[in-house]
Amino acid sequence: MIQPDGVRVKIPASTANLGPGFDTLGMALSLYAWIEMKEAEQTVFHLYGDEMQGIPRDKSNLLYQVAQQVFERAGVQVPELEISMYSDIPLTRGLGSSATAIVGALAAANALIGSPLSKAELFDMATGIEDHPDNVGASLYGGIITAIWDGVHAECIRFDPPEDLEVLVVVPDFELQTSEARKVLPDYISRKDAVYNVSRASFLVGALASGRMDLIGNAMSDRLHQPYRAPLIPGMTRILEEAGNHGALGVALSGAGPTLLALVDRQQSRKNELEAFLLNTMRAEGINASAKWLLPDVEGVVEISGMPSRSFMDMVKGK
Ligand SMILES: Nc1ncnc2c1ncn2[C@@H]1O[C@H](COP(=O)(O)OP(=O)(O)O)[C@@H](O)[C@H]1O
Ligand SMILES: N[C@@H](CCOP(=O)(O)O)C(=O)O
């Protein structure tokens, strides 16, 4: 029942909220991590790449802990594991690295023992661990997801992003833990602000699902989390206010930040201008940042089969 050669999965990064859809909307992105998981005599980790620095290499590691939850739920014992991971996803920057690790560990552990758990069960487990469904739903299902979570079960509707949608992310060179960026949020907001957000989030889903990219701009504003998080990210307020004048369809904080995200029509020609505006605005505030042009990922987590003879890193380099 346990796959003798182990299993390999590829998991996309994600951006959560898309402005008004706090803890609800997510989109998978073409930036990836890879995990290999095998049964072993003794637990060992091989963590590759700059983004894996500082990640624990013992049984306290999130990947190991999450895998054990799968085995427990399935009633199977696999106490010792050999786990390899490589990631291009920056840690603690608002691109869902923790969700990627959780979804990757759930999918790999489930595949290792013959896939007894359904995707819906993995989604419930992932949301329980992460505590909000937006990033994990996007990394699990790909595309754009709109999700609900009642504390036990998560449900989502997934749809394909508009065909010409392209995504610019500007990643500042400082970290912001999601837990810290949640502490600054108020427990209560006014009815006026609640209506503001419900209307924008609903409108944004409608615009994205029906391919109306011209309507995205007005729909991406938010009063639930971004105004409270803006003081943590120098340059953010100006970028949110002015990116539309430089070719962005819409702009938002990516997840809990500090990364900023602009949605762009792939057919338009002001990409250099937009990238320069975002980078220069941050630089003027003393923040170095790097820009990445990404596409939505539409597959979500996938198992890579049929290559046990290739080394893990050869597989990653072959992408
Ligand atoms: N591959 C991994 N293995 C173990 N822990 C990880 C891994 N990737 C991320 N994490 C954990 O998730 C944290 C980052 O999560 P978070 O603050 O939510 O930021 P984000 O998910 O936006 O990158 C890291 O500090 C680390 O504790
Ligand atoms: N809805 C969450 C999303 C956190 O995303 P991350 O990528 O920053 O972990 C929030 O806004 O707190």
Residue 97 in marked binding region = yes
Give the number of whichever ligand sits closest to the CA of residue 134: 2
Q: Give the H/E segment covering residue 264.
A: strand 260-265
117 and 57 both lie in a single domain: yes
Interface confidence (ipTM) of the complex: 0.98
Choosing from 93, 167, 178, 184 the residue with most ligand 2 atoms within 8 A of its CB, the one to mutate for a pocket test is: 178
55 in contact with ligand 1, CB cutoff 6 A:
yes
Q: How far apart are CA 102 and CA 97, in angstroms?
A: 9
Q: What pLDDT does 1 receive?
A: 83
232 in contact with ligand 1, CB cutoff 6 A:
no
145 and 16 both lie in a single domain: yes
Q: Give the H/E segment covering residue 284.
A: helix 271-284
Q: 200, 18 in Cβ contact below 8 A?
A: no
260 and 307 both lie in a single domain: no
Task: Decide: pTM greater than 0.95.
Answer: yes
- Residues 6+ positions from 261 with CB-CB distance below 8 Å: 15, 18, 167, 168, 169, 170, 251, 252, 253, 254
Inside any domain, residue 1:
no
CATH label of the domain that carries residue 220? 3.30.70.890
Q: Which amino acid is at 80?
A: E
Q: How far apart are CA 121 and CA 251, in angstroms?
A: 33
The dihedral formed by the CA atoms of 303, 306, 311 and 314, expressed in degrees to the nearest 10: -80
Q: Give the H/E segment covering residue 169.
A: strand 165-172
Tallying the residues shown for the chain, one arrives at 319
92 in contact with ligand 2, CB cutoff 6 A:
no
74 and 148 both lie in a single domain: yes
Residue 115 in marked binding region = no
13 and 146 both lie in a single domain: yes
Q: What pLDDT does 298 receive?
A: 98
102 and 185 both lie in a single domain: no
220 and 239 both lie in a single domain: yes
Q: How far apart are CA 251 and CA 230, in angstroms?
A: 13
Residue 96 in marked binding region = yes
22 and 70 both lie in a single domain: yes
17 in contact with ligand 2, CB cutoff 6 A:
yes
Spatial CA neighbour of 171 closest among 29, 60, 283, 291: 291
Domains identified in the chain, total number: 2
153 and 302 both lie in a single domain: yes
Residue 90 in marked binding region = yes
Choosing from 98, 100, 178 the residue with most ligand 1 atoms within 8 A of its CB, the one to mutate for a pocket test is: 98
> By alpha-carbon position, which residue is closest to atom 12 of ligand 2?
256
Report residue 79 as tokens. 């106490």
Full residue range of the structural domain in which residue 60 is found: 7-159+297-318
Per-position pLDDT tens, the chain of length 319: 899 999 999 999 999 999 999 999 999 999 999 999 999 999 999 999 998 989 999 999 999 999 999 999 999 999 899 999 999 999 999 999 999 999 999 999 999 999 999 999 999 999 999 999 999 999 999 999 999 999 999 999 999 999 999 999 999 999 999 999 999 999 999 999 999 999 999 999 999 999 999 999 999 999 999 999 999 999 999 999 999 999 999 999 999 999 999 999 999 879 999 999 999 999 999 999 999 999 999 999 999 986 666 788 888 887 6
Q: How far apart are CA 48 and CA 317, in angstroms?
A: 12
Q: What pLDDT does 307 receive?
A: 67
Q: How far apart are CA 264 and CA 24, in angstroms?
A: 22
